[in-house]
Amino acid sequence: MKNKKIIDGVKITPLKQIIDERGKVMLMMRNDDRVYKKFGEIYFSCTHPGVVKAWHMHKRMTLNYAIISGQLKIVLYDSRKKSPTKGLLQEIYMSTENYFLLSVPPLIWNGFKGIGTKTSIIANCSDIPHDPDEMIRISPNSKKIPYKWELKHR
């Protein structure tokens, strides 16, 4: 995780990996976890290196992301009018070495970029099934969100 400031309602929960000589088990979510609401669906999104999948915002869905392969930069933007973190951008780096559950509440813009050298796979265990009518999409280069997806030089 990169950013110290967290958008109001976003939760980062460390996840356990059980590793032995045979491989590993990567735990993601249980129905008795603090962040679990209800089951909607699970899907996997694959992102090639350098590809940006942004921006989208769900009106009702809570996202619960865990990366199962590769590396992604997740970017969140809070445009909610009454939020204490309105206008805050948050960059979060996810990988299997930095393994956690990222819970994103409704009405937060989000997107991600494949980083590293291989295709990344992120799982989402959402609290409602996908419904295209409850999601809003805008261009990755939209002026509505003050963010540029190019490589950052530190």
Structural domain includes residue 151: no
pLDDT of 153 strictly over 80: no
Structural domain includes residue 102: yes
Q: Are 74 and 65 in contact (CB under 8 A)?
A: yes
Structural domain includes residue 32: yes
The string of pLDDT tens digits covering residues 15-69 is: 999 999 999 999 999 999 999 999 999 999 999 999 999 999 999 999 999 999 9
Q: How many domains does the chain have?
A: 1
What is the overall mean pLDDT for the chain?
94
Query: Cα(9)–Cα(42) distance, rounded to whole angstroms?
Result: 21
The whole domain housing 71 covers 11-137
Asked if the bond preceding 55 is cis, omega within 30° of 0, the reply is yes
Which among 60, 65, 118 is positioned nearest to 93, based on CA atoms?
Answer: 65
Structural domain includes residue 153: no
Residue type, position 141, single letter: N
> Exposed, middle or buried, 144 (CB in 10 Å: 0-12/13-18/19+)?
exposed
pLDDT of 75 strictly over 80: yes
Structural domain includes residue 123: yes
DSSP state, residue 23: E
Structural domain includes residue 145: no
Query: Cα(125)–Cα(63) distance, rounded to whole angstroms?
Result: 7
Structural domain includes residue 110: yes
CATH at residue 39: 2.60.120.10
Confidence of residue 5 (pLDDT cuts 50, 70, 90): confident
pLDDT of 1 strictly over 70: no
Query: Cα(139)–Cα(126) distance, rounded to whole angstroms?
Result: 23
